[in-house]
A and B are shown apart, each in its own frame.
Chain A
Amino acid sequence: MLNQQVALVTGASRGIGAAIAVALGKQGAIVIGTATSTSGAEAITAALNAAGVNGIGMALDVTQPEQVDAVLKQIATQFGDVSILVNNAGITKDTLLMRMKDEDWDAVLNTNLKSVFRMSQAVLRPMMKARQGRIVNISSVVGHMGNAGQTNYAAAKAGMTGFTKSMAMEVGSRGITVNCVAPGFIETDMTAELPEEIKTKMLERIAIGRLGQVDEIAATVAFLASPAAAYITGETIHVNGGMYCA
């Protein structure tokens, strides 16, 4: 379905990003997964190989413009231009606003939001030329419903939604779609860090009555990346088990 298209997934060493990388690969894409460390990149290569997927891991800190340029150049030379970009890399620095430091705010906004601007801009030129492209941004239910202790994270994720809608309007005429997938409470390392009582409270709100699985997010991303989703753009698909009905 994604026959030999080049897909770039940021933050692919674990959790949702790792599942997305494999899912796109299983649809036939050549997948480049990125991680901030070399060991993370090696782990991605190993995971893709183990899954029987064509692709490799590369080290990339999405907050560093020169690294972004270098990685995209390398991908273009080695595999061809990126036609599917999944902006998945993200971090949390949770704390109540009363105690939030400038560094907590900047780190989350830079990694989670500014990177989306940077990566999307970097892949746009070849996509415009090819009159084809898919950008899928991984936002969060928190960007829509808010969450105490995550003003920085929620702001970044809500910002992503506005970015997505605006970019979709700019590039729609070139066959490029830009969408968000907003996961709810998914079983990953990121949510494992949450205190037990918060987890219990969140579970009570989930209509389906369980945490989501990374594969359930990956399947939605694979759909948005596919030719079948050509008429969906500027949209957010919520995958949250009924935790929040947007």
Chain B
Amino acid sequence: MSDIEQRVKKIVCEQLGANEADVKNASSFVDDLGADSLDTVELVMALEEEFDCEIPDEEAEKITTVQQAIDYVNANVK
């Protein structure tokens, strides 16, 4: 597991109160991990903080799974 993948999963676990075992790359925040709309906003805010970046709203909307979050960070954060 890459460092970024680990950090993303850790944040997802913390924010959504999910078990590490349930957080898979394909997991959807809403459908699989039970996030509500406020949870997803908080999650994006936590990612911004962790990776010291700003995720625009139109990009944030597209991040609905763990893998998408990892991909976003890989593509946009140095």
Contact = CB atoms under 8 A, between A and B. Distances in A.
Interface of A: 125, 128, 170-171, 173-174
Interface pairs A-B: 5 shortest CB-CB: A128-B42, A170-B38, A173-B38, A125-B45, A174-B38
Nearest to A128: B42
A82 B36 CA distance: 25
Interface of B: 36, 38, 42, 45
Nearest to B42: A128
Contacts of A171: 38
B36 A173 contact: yes
Nearest to B36: A173
7 contacts: A125-B45, A128-B42, A170-B38, A171-B38, A173-B36, A173-B38, A174-B38
Contacts of A125: 45
- If over half of B's interface residues share one DSSP class (helix, strand or loop), that class is named, otherwise mixed; here it is helix
B14 to A, nearest CB: 10
A168 B65 CA distance: 28
Contacts of B38: 170-171, 173-174
B46 to A, nearest CB: 9
Contacts of B36: 173
Contacts of A174: 38
Nearest to A172: B38
B35 to A, nearest CB: 12
Contacts of B42: 128
Contacts of A128: 42
B65 to A, nearest CB: 23
A125 to B, nearest CB: 7
A128 B42 CA distance: 8
Nearest to A173: B38
A171 B42 CA distance: 11
A118 to B, nearest CB: 18
A171 B41 CA distance: 12
